[in-house]
Structures are given as structure tokens and as C-alpha cells.
Structure 1
């Protein structure tokens, strides 16, 4: 299975868990769960296109990118005020203990989401199994694969995404989500 497949599977599982976890959520916790669910649904809508399983639709990519953008950056961090952890929230205490990193990942998602919208008209590579080695002129953009999972951000801005294959931009968005979930989200049992 390629990287997009693994990320998609992980996010699909997250969606299933999130649907269950919504039981009993109210207020800001429900708002943030709904935002995460909307982003997860956007990933689920794009993943088959990025794997070449369904026809590519640039408008669908722009719509999903708008969903990610609307829930990233300050919009995301505003949904995590101090004292809103604990059940039914899936947020770890690490959100508030390492707030600067959480903010950084939320801002990274905003940048990558805007970049995904810019890359929407670029043809996808269709996930060759080592997407990072085929993006940006054949150079590895992510460095070591573990860097993305550790939340280490490549130094790309939204303009650089304009030349990137759309599935590469999608992978960047997905890896940003995964990096945040790995550190700041409670795993389902």
C-alpha cells in the first residue's frame, strides 16, 4: 500500500471513531469534533482520486481545500480553549502543554490547504508508492519519512504548491493532519 493509502486508511478509522465519540459532546468540543469530521470527510472524498481510482475533479479538490482552509490555522486553535480536554474530547493534554507546536501544525495545515487549492489544476502523479521522491522535480521534499510524522514542516509556501502535482499537495495536507493526530489526539481503543 502506498503512503496515500496508509494515510487515507488512518483517517478513515479516525472518522469512524470520531462519529462514535460525538456522543455526548456539546459546545466547543462538539464544534471542533464537527470541524475534524468535515476535514476527514474531505480527505475521504479526495483519496480515491489521488489513488487514480476515480476520475480527477479539480473543482472537488478546490472544495475540499476550502474545507481544510476554513478549519485550519486560527480557526482550529480557537476551538481548543484551555480546559476543554477530557471526555468526550479526543484531545490530549499535550495540546495545551505544547501549545506552540500545536499552533505551528494548525498554521502548517492552513498553508498546505491553500497550496492544495493552487495545485488543483495540476495533474496528479497517481501515487507511485514513493510520492515524495517524484515531487518537485524528482527531489525528495519531505526528507526522511519520519520527519512528517514528527511534525517537522518542509519549508514550502503556498506559491511553491502551484507547481506541485495535486496528489503531492494532497499528501502534504494529509501528513500535516497525521502529524497533529500523532501528537495531540487520543488513540481509540
Structure 2
């Protein structure tokens, strides 16, 4: 009984915090803010696992990837009708000025999230023979030995397909997802105050 009260209290605090963060947002802006929060929550939930700080759970990775897929691609871009700016929104005008690039990033996020789901069967790089440290835990991320995950924005590397992710360590696929989120935020989201 006491555990249920703790869970209920925690859930109430989280819901109140999310509501406060989106206070004043309405309509499509509120909808997209809720979608972005869902994406952020998945990244925060999976990051410790990718760093080897919590046990790897393939089902949790697949569930998180499913959430990402539902908020990416066309679903994401549909929440950005031109001029949909409210004071609480962090969207920059560059979304509409560079619409094709924004669409490309939304599609990449969807593809990479689908790939992350498939890679859950592989496990972390550290658990693979001859792979060394995990990508997020100080291994190859950002190094010249990291696999190419290009697909636009001036990159010359090979475009990754969903099937390519199926044989990739999960933390490598996760790094690709995080890279896509970061690229989008750098160009299309205002800095936090």
C-alpha cells in the first residue's frame, strides 16, 4: 500500500512539473511540446543503460524506440504548421526557413528510432566480442573509428538504413538517435534561458 502511495505521489509531481513547463501552450504548440517531452523522457531513461550504468533491457529499449517512432517523421512535422509560435515555444523561425532540412531530420529520427528498436537484440558494444567499451561509455563515440551515420546536412558518409541497424550494437544506434536530436536542436530550437 505504501509503495503505491509513493508511486502515485511521484507520478503527480512529474505530471505537475510537465504541466508547469507547458503552461500557456495551447493547440498544436502544446501537442508538439508534449511530443518533444516524450522524446526527451525516452533519451533520459535509456542513457544510463547505454552508458552501462544500469542493466541492459532489450524490451525497455524497444518500448522507448516505439515512443520515439510515434513522435518522429511526418507525425512530428505535422505539428509545425507555419507561424505556429507561442511565447512558451522554443521553436525558431529557421524551422520554416529551412523546412526541407527540418523534414529530413524528422525522417532521420524516425528511421534511426526504428533502427534502435531492431538493434535491441544485439545488445551493447561492450558485450560484443572484440568491441571494447560501449559507444556512450567513453568508447568510440565521436572518434574516427565510429561507424558512419550520415544522411544529409553536408555529411559525405553513407546513409544508414533500418536494416543496417539490426546488426549494430544498441548503444551505437542510440548514439545515432541522440545525434539527430542534437542536430535538430542546434538549428531549430532556442537555447534555454
Q: TM-score, normalised by structure 1?
A: 0.80
Q: CA deviation at 1:142?
A: 3.6
> Aligned residue for 1:55?
55
> Aligned residue for 2:140?
131
Q: Distance in 2 between matches of 1:46 and 1:112?
A: 15
2:31 matches 1:27: no
Gap runs ≥5 in structure 2: 1-16, 126-133
Q: TM-score, normalised by structure 2?
A: 0.78
> Aligned residue for 2:179?
175
> Aligned residue for 2:11?
none
Q: CA deviation at 1:87?
A: 1.2
The runs of at least 4 aligned residues of structure 1 exceeding 6 Å deviation read none
Work out whether residues 151 and 180 of structure 1, in 8 Å CA contact, stay in contact via their aligned partners in 2: no
Q: CA deviation at 1:34?
A: 0.2
When Rg is computed on C-alpha atoms for both structures, the one with the higher figure is 2
Work out whether residues 23 and 88 of structure 1, in 8 Å CA contact, stay in contact via their aligned partners in 2: yes
> Aligned residue for 1:141?
147
Q: CA deviation at 1:23?
A: 1.5
2:171 match: secondary structure:
helix
Q: Distance in 1 between matches of 2:43 and 2:67?
A: 10
> Aligned residue for 2:191?
187
Higher relative contact order (CA 8 A, sep 6+): 1
Q: Distance in 1 between matches of 2:154 and 2:178?
A: 12
Q: Which moved more, 1:49-58 or 1:152-161?
A: 152-161
1:140 match: secondary structure:
coil
Q: Which moved more, 1:99-108 or 1:77-86?
A: 77-86
Q: Distance in 1 between matches of 2:84 and 2:142?
A: 40
Q: CA deviation at 1:131?
A: 2.6
Shift of the 168–18 alpha-carbon distance from structure 1 to 2, 3 Å rule, reads farther
